[in-house]
Amino acid sequence: MNKSRRMVPALVGAGSTVLVLAVLGVAPALAGPTVTVRIEGESATLLPTATVTLEKPEPVSGCAYNSVAAAINLAVNGNWDHGEANNGGGDFTQTILGETHEFKNNSDTWAEWVDYKWGGGICSDLLSEGDQVLMVADHEPEPFYDPTVLPLVISSTPSTVQAGSAFNVEVDEITTTTTTFASPGEGTPKPAAGVTVAGGGASAITGSNGIATLTLTSTGSATLRATKPGDAPSATFSVCVHKGNDGNCGTSVAGSSTPAGSGTTPVTITPNLSTAITAHISSLLDSHVYARGKAPRILAGTVTTAAALEEVELRLTRRRAPGRCAYFDGPTGRFHAMRCGASHGRYFKASNQKLFSYLLPETLAPGRYVLDAKGIGAGGHVTSLERGTSRIVFYVK
């Protein structure tokens, strides 16, 4: 029996800080992967999705700088405890952000999921670029120690919808494949029935196929979330609602190339002289698991900028197994081996239009993928990477 991933333990706080002195001062910290952390408590979300960049030296004494423990410590700003660490339980924690689960009340514990896979221990599990950490308040009755509070995932929904038009939202529940003693790395998405999907003033319940049908009437951005008693709620997902060419969601008012405000009433456009530039990938869903041969071959989206757009570049990287990573090379249309970590991939030019689209030469093989979109505007201004918009992490199984 391996309980090392259950009460998920923390080696909190910095403990002791080691300063490495160089000849001309203190050596700077070395940046590691950027990951996300979400904490779902017993009855409320304790920490919405937070993005942290792991750095050397590690901030949690005793665990690697790129461990789940290090990521949690940074995300909650040290507001958690050592759990059983002092008793040799470095893979456990009991209290996070003031909520305690110490395996006393109905086998309550903190369960660890990484990229919606059952975790192997917060000190043992190491993270790569774009990984997602989810900590869930769970009850794992002895002697099996399997998850009972399962994560929900919004697995499919359009990123842009027409106001007043019905659209579907697909919701999966992540389950382990075994019924006793789940092993690290297990996690299978299955359609979830009876899930409430709500946001933007609308709500609906999924059927046996895991699909709920909603209609949003207010233009602008609507935030959706899936919930079901006994399960961990999904992360939020934003849907942009427009009414024809009203200026929302990248649309332009007829006869004008400048996006207008929401609604259908004509408005006076004041030129935006800002150099801000943003990118949004629309053809793929963040965190979605696509069946082999079903992942979209079209990499598409939009770039928003008030200045002239010079080009749109894409970077697609793949991890098939530990140490087996590759990047897609646009000129050759092939994947090439690289060091693991999306930052080691290479961008390629995909378009010079704000509405960009690139067709991959063939369907994607199984693996974990990171797609980054970068718009380059006049003066060299570029988009920043933001998970869920200009950076999409997805899977092919």
Concatenate the DSSP letters of all residues of 86-102 into one string.
GGT-TTB-SEETTEE--
Nearest-Å Rg of the Cα atoms of the chain is 22
Domain co-membership, 276 together with 395 = yes
115, 148, 181 - which closes a domain: 148
101, 127, 148 - which closes a domain: 148
Residue 83 vs residues 80, 89, 92, 100, 207: alpha-carbon distances, Å: 9, 8, 6, 9, 40
Pairing verdict, β 324-329 and 391-396:
unpaired
Domain co-membership, 259 together with 336 = no
Domain co-membership, 140 together with 205 = no
Name the one residue in this structure whose structure tokens are 């779902």.
Answer: 40
Domain co-membership, 157 together with 196 = yes
With respect to residue 367, please indicate whether it lies within any of the assigned structural domains.
yes
Alpha helices for the chain (secondary structure H)? 68-75
CATH number at residue 308: 2.60.40.10
The pLDDT profile of the chain, 397 residues, written as one tens digit per residue, is 333 333 343 333 333 333 332 333 444 556 678 889 999 999 999 999 999 999 887 777 778 888 899 999 999 988 998 544 433 346 778 899 999 988 776 778 899 999 888 888 888 888 888 889 999 999 876 655 678 899 999 888 888 899 999 999 999 999 886 555 567 778 888 999 999 999 999 999 999 999 999 999 999 889 999 999 999 999 988 888 989 888 888 777 655 544 443 333 222 223 333 446 788 898 898 888 888 888 889 898 888 876 678 899 999 999 987 778 899 999 999 999 988 888 889 999 998 888 888 999 999 999 999 999 998 886 667 777 788 888 898 999 8
Residue-level pLDDT at 304: 82
Domain co-membership, 140 together with 187 = no
With respect to residue 81, please indicate whether it lies within any of the assigned structural domains.
yes
**Predicted structure pTM score:** 0.61
Provide the 8-state DSSP code for 74: H
Query: Whole-angstrom Cα distance, residue 89 to residue 62?
Result: 11
Calculate the CA 208 to chain-centre distance. 26
CA–CA–CA angle 109, 110, 111 (5° rounding): 110
Residue-level pLDDT at 86: 38
Domain co-membership, 141 together with 231 = no
Domain co-membership, 307 together with 383 = yes
CB 363 within 8 A of CB 290: no
CB 284 within 8 A of CB 392: yes
With respect to residue 180, please indicate whether it lies within any of the assigned structural domains.
yes
For residue 57, is the peptide bond before it cis, meaning its omega torsion is within 30 degrees of 0? yes
CB 7 within 8 A of CB 89: yes
Amino acid in the structure at residue 263? G
With respect to residue 293, please indicate whether it lies within any of the assigned structural domains.
yes
Residue-level pLDDT at 379: 64
Residue-level pLDDT at 6: 38
Please give the tally of structural domains in the chain: 3
CB 217 within 8 A of CB 185: no
With respect to residue 15, please indicate whether it lies within any of the assigned structural domains.
no
CA–CA–CA angle 136, 141, 143 (5° rounding): 125
Structure tokens at 227: 């919930």
Residue-level pLDDT at 233: 96
Residues with Cβ < 8 Å from 236, sequence gap 6 or more? Answer: 48, 49, 199, 223, 224, 225
Domain co-membership, 25 together with 112 = yes
Residue-level pLDDT at 141: 66
Calculate the CA 295 to chain-centre distance. 17
With respect to residue 85, please indicate whether it lies within any of the assigned structural domains.
yes
221, 246, 268 - which closes a domain: 268
Residue-level pLDDT at 16: 34
Residue-level pLDDT at 194: 97
Domain co-membership, 27 together with 136 = yes
Domain residue limits at 200 = 150-268
Domain co-membership, 255 together with 287 = no
Residue-level pLDDT at 127: 87
Query: Whole-angstrom Cα distance, residue 61 to residue 380?
Result: 41
CB-based burial, 117-152: b 16+ in 10 Å, e otherwise: bbbbbbbbbbbbbbbbbbbbbbbbeeeebbbeebbb
Residue-level pLDDT at 187: 83
